Amino acid sequence: MILSSNPEMKIFTGNAHPSLASDICGYLGVELGNAKVSSFPDGETFVKIDDNIRGRDVFIIQPTCPPTNQNLMELLIMVDAARRASAARITAVIPFFGYARQDRKDQPRVPITAKLVANLLVAAGVNRVLTMDLHAQQLQGFFDIPVDHLHALPVMVEHIRQLDIPDLIVVSPDVGGVKMASAYATALGTRLAIVVKQRKSATETEASHIIGEVEGKNVLIVDDLTETAGTITSAARMLRKNGARDIYAGISHTILTDLAVERLKGSELKELISTNSVPARLSIGDRVTSLSVAGLLGEGIRRIHDDESVSSLFEVKPKS
């Protein structure tokens, strides 16, 4: 879509994560747009945008975290409202993209819900998507519109470097996360190890063996998402049995269930480092650190608005 010369930026949010939207607006030095997002007594979502957005460059910030269906419907209805109000362009800013794990047919007669959600967003009127650390990068191909895929790595690596952890090695908690873990290892100037796991059920996994040497090392387990914390706590136990010293976890999105909180409280982890891509779970002790991605997302929004490169945000200089 071709925009008029430098249209005004307008940013709105639903009820999923208003504090993150406020922080992003603070970074950009703009006011959060006025929109009413509420529910009728029967549960239907109602949206009314109170600002004039005709010809504006509109950004709607809404992670589709739990309650996933409610937050997704709010986003779709807000997009429809903006489209019908003649916005010049609508960018859906989805810090956490729900349904991303349903990206293929791994059983007979099951849906590919990630593709369905992509279709719904486009049908509603989204012109562009800005998201962060998709569960599978190929999800970008589900869209027929531009997708800017950011990574929490620069924010995470900056914090980890400040911790100045000696003898650090990066660990992938499963084979599927090797590419992500390799990027962290390169940025931190260290080596990589892999925990091989077996999934017993939707909520339980078991680490079976380790590829690489972790004895006497401090380790950083990196992953894009944890919901029940089964993978990282099982990996931490295996790493401890194999002689690892302090064990850290760097997770982009922490969608913590009650089961996850209990597992983390009794885990071998010294610190869980995550981001505020979704609202923080109530306190689970002082071993949890939440890093703000408001600056990262805000810079992505600014560059999209100004038609500048977004890919340079991925760049992290390797540790010298």
Pair 258, 240: CB distance under 8 Å: no
Strand partners, 207: 197
Which residue from 221, 197, 216, 200 is spatially nearest to 208, judged by alpha carbons?
197
Coil, helix or strand at residue 23? helix
Pair 223, 173: CB distance under 8 Å: yes
Which residue from 99, 179, 164, 153 is spatially nearest to 293, judged by alpha carbons?
153
Could you tell me if residue 46 is left (phi over 0), alpha (psi between -120 and 50 degrees) or otherwise beta? beta
Q: Clarify whether 115 is annotated catalytic.
A: no
Pair 91, 305: CB distance under 8 Å: no
Catalytic-labelled residue, pool 197, 200, 265, 317: 197
Report the C-alpha gap between 299 and 313 in whole angstroms: 8
Burial of 39-74, coded b for 16+ CB within 10 Å and e otherwise, reads eeeeeebebebeeebeebbbbbbbbbbbebebbbbb
Helices (H), ranges, the chain: 18-28, 68-84, 113-124, 153-163, 178-188, 230-241, 258-265, 294-305
Q: What is the largest CA-CA distance in the chain?
A: 61
Catalytic residues: 197
